[in-house]
Amino acid sequence: MRQDFIDPQISELFACHQLDSFDALWELELKAVDQPNTERGGWSSVSYLELDGQGFYLKRQRNHLTRSLQRPLGEPTFAREFRTIEQYRKLGIPALQAAWFGQRRVAGEQRAILVTHALTDWQDLGCWLERWPHVADGERRAILDVCGTLARRLHGAGQMHGCFYPKHIFLRPTAGGFNACLIDLEKTRCLWLGRRDRIKDIEPLMRRTRHVWTPDEQLRLLAAYLDNQDHARVWYDWLQVRMQDKASRP
C-alpha cells in the first residue's frame, strides 16, 4: 500500500483537528455539495471542509473505478486525478492543488480520498462571461491574454486537457491583471497528434465563447496562445472549419 500524501503546509492543521488519517477523513460527517456520483458501479461524493478559515474540498469514493491499458482491473478515479494534479505541478502548469490523498482496500471495496485546496477568491471564466458586457476593456484584454497563455503553457508542456471549457478555467484578479489555473484534469493526456490535438483542445473554449466574445477578442486569445499575432488568423480559420464540421453532424 502506497504511503498517503499530505501537503506539508497543512499537515499540522489537519493533525490539530485530528484529521490526519484515512479513517478520520472517511468517517467525517459533512454535507455533500451536490448529488453523489453513482456511475461506474460505485459511489463518489464531494463535500466542503473549512478548518480555521482555510477551505478544502473533501472527495470520497467507494468502488468508483476507471480502467486503462496500464490498469485493466481498474483503480479509483481519484487516484488518477491525484497523479494528474501532481504531474501538472511538476510541469509548472497552473492548476488546483492537492492537500491530501490516500486509498485503501476495505472488505473487498476500493476506497479513495482526495482533498484539494479550495480556490478561494477565484471565479471560473463562465462567471466572467455572464457579465462580459459590463467588464472593463482592460480587464477583458487581460482575461483573453491570460487564458491564451494558460493554454500555451499547457500544450507547451505536452499535455492536452481534454475538457477545456470556461467552467474549468479559474481566474483571480491581481494588481497587474489576472492569474489563471485549471481544474477537472481527469481527461488529461499527452499531445499525441501535435497541431490536430491542440486545435481539438482549444475548440471547445472557442465554441462556448463565440456568442460572447467578438472575432477580434477570440483572435486576441489565439495571439496570446500562439505568441504570434500573424498566425492567429490562420488558427482562427481552422477552428471555424472544425466548429462548422461539428455543427453539421447529426
Whether residue 131 is found in the same domain as residue 109: no
| Each residue's pLDDT tens digit, 30-85 | 999 988 888 767 889 999 999 999 999 999 999 988 776 666 667 888 999 999 99
Strands (E), the chain: 5-6, 43-51, 54-62, 65-66, 75-76, 98-106, 109-117, 123-124, 159-160, 169-174, 177-182, 189-190
Is the residue at 131 inside a domain?
yes
Choosing from 89, 117, 145, the residue where a domain stops is 117
pLDDT of residue 37: 82
pLDDT of residue 42: 85
Whether residue 139 is found in the same domain as residue 174: yes
Cell of 207: 465554441
Choosing from 63, 88, 117, the residue where a domain stops is 117
Whether residue 127 is found in the same domain as residue 50: no
Whether residue 131 is found in the same domain as residue 219: yes
Task: Using 50 as the pLDDT threshold, list the residues of the chain that sit under it.
Answer: 1
Is the residue at 162 inside a domain?
yes
Identify the CATH number of the domain in which residue 241 sits: 1.10.510.10
Look up the pTM and report it.
Answer: 0.91
Other Cβ atoms less than 10 A from the Cβ of 178: the count is 20
Torsion region of 28: left, alpha or beta (phi above 0 gives left; psi -120 to 50 gives alpha): beta
Q: How many domains is the chain partitioned into structurally?
A: 2
Q: Which domain holds residue 176?
A: 123-248
Overall residue count recorded for the chain in this entry: 250
Whether residue 74 is found in the same domain as residue 133: no
pLDDT of residue 238: 94
Is the residue at 1 inside a domain?
no
